[in-house]
Amino acid sequence: MRYIIFAIIVFSLNKAVSQPCINPVTSNCFDAITEGSQFLMSTPGNVDFVFDEMREYVTGITLSGKTMLRLDVREDIAGACKWKLIMYIDNNMHLPDFEWEPLVTYGTTGANPELGLIEVKVYNGCGTPLQSGVYQVFNNIQYDVIEIIPDGPRIIPAPCDGSQVNGPGSYVTDYNEFNFTIDYRIKPGYLLRSGAYQIKIHFCLVEV
């Protein structure tokens, strides 16, 4: 029987220096008087896909709402806080860099999965993410980025019309604009090599 396990390690990076996530020169999205900006994520660790039935290889497995991001962004100087939110893919420097990292493989037939296999969907109550509610795939490139909220003109909360809100605000007062839900989907087909594979998906909130 074919048996494949995919493990996704989910990380949050708040104003971090890590590959596509670079610390800003300034720090206007931080209020030192209070507890400062917060980036809260519900995913405790791995998101695991286990394929052990033939129908799952064709129809795929969807894990809905496995990650929830809640933002609480404070402002130090009025009108100066603007941020972006991205996710990027990381195969732990495995070579070739377009494949998942194999933890263990079985047999000699079949190909290793490529990074573009994982599909992600980001959405919230106001439709603020780019491509809100639409499944997207990463390119087969190490550290490829999917933008959730891009670096664009500053928009503060209130409209709830699909605008990419990127100013100060909180999930406490504007839940539908500062809360993001992420679904994951994999449809491997029959051509992959049986085994266990791993990637990392980083979520990064940085000031711009």
Give the model confidence (pLDDT) of 98-141 as tens digits. Answer: 999 999 998 888 999 999 999 999 999 999 999 999 999 999 99
Domain span including residue 119: 4-207
Placement of tokens 């931080």 in the chain? 30
Q: For residue 90, what are its two tokens? A: 């990381």
Query: What pLDDT sits at residue 25?
Result: 66
Please give the pLDDT value at position 40: 85
pLDDT tens-digit readout, 149-164: 999 999 999 889 999 9
Q: How many domains does the chain have?
A: 1
Would you state the pLDDT for residue 130? 96
Q: Exposure of 187 by Cβ count < 10 A (0-12 exposed, 13-18 middle, 19+ buried)?
A: middle
pLDDT lower than 50: segments of the chain: 1
CA proximity to 12, closest of 63, 62, 71, 75: 71
- For residues 202 and 41, the answer to whether their CB atoms sit within 8 Å is no
Phi, psi of 176 (to 5 degrees): -70, -15
Give me the pLDDT at residue 46, please.
87
